[in-house]
Each structure stands twice: as structure tokens, then as C-alpha cells.
């Protein structure tokens, strides 16, 4: 896995080299072409100057210019002026025998195995021919092109070094953040500072801080749960210990039998409390998985099979109002846990001869589940707190641990729904309303 700095430097250096190479080639070609044009223009100006300095004449000897000692004639322009009869009237380099006739304009010619670029200027009574060695022209063009190319060649590594320095400087804040994160205590959940970070890195840091917030909330929830669980289990376990000690010291068989039943009932309460705590812990901290759906009729039948005997024992009528083919968001165990806890709560408060209704109402985007009982209801001030762990309505003496509705709230939240409690308006009683988003 390569570092961000390495990848940035690789990309920028590659871009600089590619752009520099293209710029160098273009600069070289343009400089060479401009030099060729410049040399051609120089030949034209020399031709015009020579024509104005040597007017047409019909007699006299030819003017021959002898170069001074040490003069490199091969680097110079060769000028020849001839009259209408082809006789040489002026020659700058008599040892170079230029043609006696020429075509107007620029031409390429070879004299004594040497290639020349020539310009012919026909005038009344005379013709001016200016020539220059192509080797000289090529060297001049190459020298000018190399002179223009040199700054580009020097700028490329300098630009690369500046970019390298800039990338390292800009990423220094990211390196500092990584070092700060590495030096943090193992259990530190404080958010990372994003004051000096570049904008491109901010989303990553912000999401990391959100993750830290979730972890902090999860840890606080776990600590709160452990504290509540310890508090909830301490009293019944102490009671069990005392009952066992009393049972061991009793000599009366009937008294021992009665105390044994109390001990067994206490054990059942502890087992139920432990089961509720485990259910609450499992669904309160579980991550949301892929959405599931269950057949509503099957869920209602399974719940009715479990709670109908209890309802009959307490002389309470249990009515399940579902709809064939209806799908409920969530898995069957989750839905049974929700309905089971709501029914258990309703059975504890429903009087003999009462009726508990479980009504499913489908809508376009959600399914509403209502569990209605005919108990005494709940004080309005206690309705918002009913889903808190271990909360009991003041004055409530019915058996319970205050975890059933908390478990319902945790499971419904995991399913992406909502749950509320309301007092019935048609008569006394409580109605629990669960709304689940329908993903079908």
C-alpha cells in the first residue's frame, strides 16, 4: 500500500516530466523554425543592400572583396552580382563559384560538394545571388534552439523540487494528525482536531470523529447496562441466599416445603430477569443488518400459542386481528420478542374478564401494531419514562423488573421503527403503538 505523499509526488513528477518534454520539443522546433526564417530574412536584406551598393554598369572590372587573414569564410554569406551577360561584377568570395544563372527567390544548390541555401534577386541590368552553407544554417538554428531550450530544461527539475516541497508541506498537517492519533492513550475517545487539515481530508476526520462518538455512546451504554444489571441482580440473589439459609435451618416439613416453593419462585424470577437482561443487551447493542420480513399471520399464531394458556389462566380474552399475506418488517424472533413483552405487560395489568387486542393495520409505507388492554392505564407523567430500564410506575406492586418495555424499545429502534404508549380514550386501559417501516 503506497502512501498518499508518494502517489501525489509520482503523479506530479510524471505530469511535470511529460509537460516538460512536450514543452521542450515544441520550444526546440519553434526556435529552429524561427531561426531559419531569420536567416532567410537576413539573406534578403543582404541582397537588397548589395544591390543598392552596386548599381548596374556595363564596363569596368569586377569588384572582388578579399577577406582578411583568419576570416572564416565558410560561416559568411556568399554574395555574387552579375550583369545581364552573366559576367561577375561583384563577388564576396571568388573562390566559391556560384551559378551564373538563378531562379528568383529561395533555392537549394550544391557548389563543390557543399550544399547551400541561396536567394536570387533579379534586377534591371543585373542579378544578385546570396548563398549560405546549409551546415552553417543548421548549426545556427540548432544553437538558437538549444539556447531557447536551456531555460525549459532547467525549469523542469526546479519545478519538480518546488512541487515536492509544497506537497510535503501541505501534508505535514496530515502527518501531525496521524502522529497525534498514534500518541493518544488506548482508551481515549476525544475527537480529533481538524483546524489545520486540508479540506480533502476533513470528511475522513469528521467521519472518524462520528465513529468515536458512537463508540463513546456504546461504551457509556454498556457501562450503564452493567451497573443496572448488577443493581437488578444483587437484590434477588441476596434474597435467594437468605431463603436457602432459612430452608436449611427449618425443622418443620411443611415450612420447608413452603420455603422451597418460595426459593423456586425466586430462582424463576432471577432466570427471567437474566433472560431479559441478555435480550436487552443483545438488541440494544446489535448492529443493523440486512432488512428482513416475516409473515404476520405466522408470528401472531406463534405468539398466541405461547400466551393463550396464560390468558386463559387469568380469565383474559386474547384477540389477534391480523391480515392474511401481510408481511412484517423484521425477523420472527425480533417480532415475537416485541409482541411477547407487550402482551406480558398487558396481561399483568388486565383484570379477570378483560380483553387484550393485538391489531395489525397496514399502510402504504408502514405497518402499525397496536396492543390494547383494559387495565388501569398509566399516569400521563409516566408515559414518556415507561421505556427506561428498570423504571416502575410509582405505587406499582405487580411482579416485574422494568425491562420488558426497554427491550421492546431497543428492538423497535433496531428495526428502524417507533413505539409509544397512550392511555385509551374509549375506556380505561393502555394501548402500545408500534410503527415499522415497510421495506417491501
How far is 20 from 146, CA to CA, in rounded Å? 15
- Sequence-distant (≥ 6) Cβ neighbours of residue 388 within 8 angstroms: 402, 406
% of the chain exceeding 90 in pLDDT: 2
- pLDDT at position 355: 92
58 pLDDT more than 60: no
279 pLDDT more than 80: no
112 pLDDT more than 70: yes
How far is 41 from 137, CA to CA, in rounded Å? 13
How far is 369 from 249, CA to CA, in rounded Å? 52
- pLDDT at position 156: 79
Tens digits of residue pLDDT in 151-188: 877 887 888 788 888 877 777 777 777 777 677 777 67
Q: In angstroms, what CA-CA distances link 85 with 11, 79, 95, 210, 428? A: 70, 18, 20, 99, 137
390 pLDDT more than 80: no
How far is 220 from 237, CA to CA, in rounded Å? 25
Handedness of CA 245, 248, 252, 254 (dihedral sign): positive
210 closest CA partner among 227, 223, 194, 197 = 194
% of the chain exceeding 70 in pLDDT: 74
Q: Are the C-beta atoms of residues 377 and 393 closer than 8 Å to each other?
A: no
**If residue 81 lies in a helix (H) or strand (E), which one and from where to where?**
strand 78-83
C-alpha 311, offset from chain centre? 55
Length of the chain equals 440
Q: In angstroms, what CA-CA distances link 344 with 47, 100, 312, 373? A: 117, 125, 13, 11
- pLDDT at position 227: 61
In words, the CATH class of domain 4-161 is: alpha beta
pLDDT-wise least confident of 46-50, 312-316, 347-351, 372-376: 46-50
For residues 18-30, average pLDDT: 81
290-437 domain in CATH 3.90.700.10? Answer: no
Amino acid at each position: 500500500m503506497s502512501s498518499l505523499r508518494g502517489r501525489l509526488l509520482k503523479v506530479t513528477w510524471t505530469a511535470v516530466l511529460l509537460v516538460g518534454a512536450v514543452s521542450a520539443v515544441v520550444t526546440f522546433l519553434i526556435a529552429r523554425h524561427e531561426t531559419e526564417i531569420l536567416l532567410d530574412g537576413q539573406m534578403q536584406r543582404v541582397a537588397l543592400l548589395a544591390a543598392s551598393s552596386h548599381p548596374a554598369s556595363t564596363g569596368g572590372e569586377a569588384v572582388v572583396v578579399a577577406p582578411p587573414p583568419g576570416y572564416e569564410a565558410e560561416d559568411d554569406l556568399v554574395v555574387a552580382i552579375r550583369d545581364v551577360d552573366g559576367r561577375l561584377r561583384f563577388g564576396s568570395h571568388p573562390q566559391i563559384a556560384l551559378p551564373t544563372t538563378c531562379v528568383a527567390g529561395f533555392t537549394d544548390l550544391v557548389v563543390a560538394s557543399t550544399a547551400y541555401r541561396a536567394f536570387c534577386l533579379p534586377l534591371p541590368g543585373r542579378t544578385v545571388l546570396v548563398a549560405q552553407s546549409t551546415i552553417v544554417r543548421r548549426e545556427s538554428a540548432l544553437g538558437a534552439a538549444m539556447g531557447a531550450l536551456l531555460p525549459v530544461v532547467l525549469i523542469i527539475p526546479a519545478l519538480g523540487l518546488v512541487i515536492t516541497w509544497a506537497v510535503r508541506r501541505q501534508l505535514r498537517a496530515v502527518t501531525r494528525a496521524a502522529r497525534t492519533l498514534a500518541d493518544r492513550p488506548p482508551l481515549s475517545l476525544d475527537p480529533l482536531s481538524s483546524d489545520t487539515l486540508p479540506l480533502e481530508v476533513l470528511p475522513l476526520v469528521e467521519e472518524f470523529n462520528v465513529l468515536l462518538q458512537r463508540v463513546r455512546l456504546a461504551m457509556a451504554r454498556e457501562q450503564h447496562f452493567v451497573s443496572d444489571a448488577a443493581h437488578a441482580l444483587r437484590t434477588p440473589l441476596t434474597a435467594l441466599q437468605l431463603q436457602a439459609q432459612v430452608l436449611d435451618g427449618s425443622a418443620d416439613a411443611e415450612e420447608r416445603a413452603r420455603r422451597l416453593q418460595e426459593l423456586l419462585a425466586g430462582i424463576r424470577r432471577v432466570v427471567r430477569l437474566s433472560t431479559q437482561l441478555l435480550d436487552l443487551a443483545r438488541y440494544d447493542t446489535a448492529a443493523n443488518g440486512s432488512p428482513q420480513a416475516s409473515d404476520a399471520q405466522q408470528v401472531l399464531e406463534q405468539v398466541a400459542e405461547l400466551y393463550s394458556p396464560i390468558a386463559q389462566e387469568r380469565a383474559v380474552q386474547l384477540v389477534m386481528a391480523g391480515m392474511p399475506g401481510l408481511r412484517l418488517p423484521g425477523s420472527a424472533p425480533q417480532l415475537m420478542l416485541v409482541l411477547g413483552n407487550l402482551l406480558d405487560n398487558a396481561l399483568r395489568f388486565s383484570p379477570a374478564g378483560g380483553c387484550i387486542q393485538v391489531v395489525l393495520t397496514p399502510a402504504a409505507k408502514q405497518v402499525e401494531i397496536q396492543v390494547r388492554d383494559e387495565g388501569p392505564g398509566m399516569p400521563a407523567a409516566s408515559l414518556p419514562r415507561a421505556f427506561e430500564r428498570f423504571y416502575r410506575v410509582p405505587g406499582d406492586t405487580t411482579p416485574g423488573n422494568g425491562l420488558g418495555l426497554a427491550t421492546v424499545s431497543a428492538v423497535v429502534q433496531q428495526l428502524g421503527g417507533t413505539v409509544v404508549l397512550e392511555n385509551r380514550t374509549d375506556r380505561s386501559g393502555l394501548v402500545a403503538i408500534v410503527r415499522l417501516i415497510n421495506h417491501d
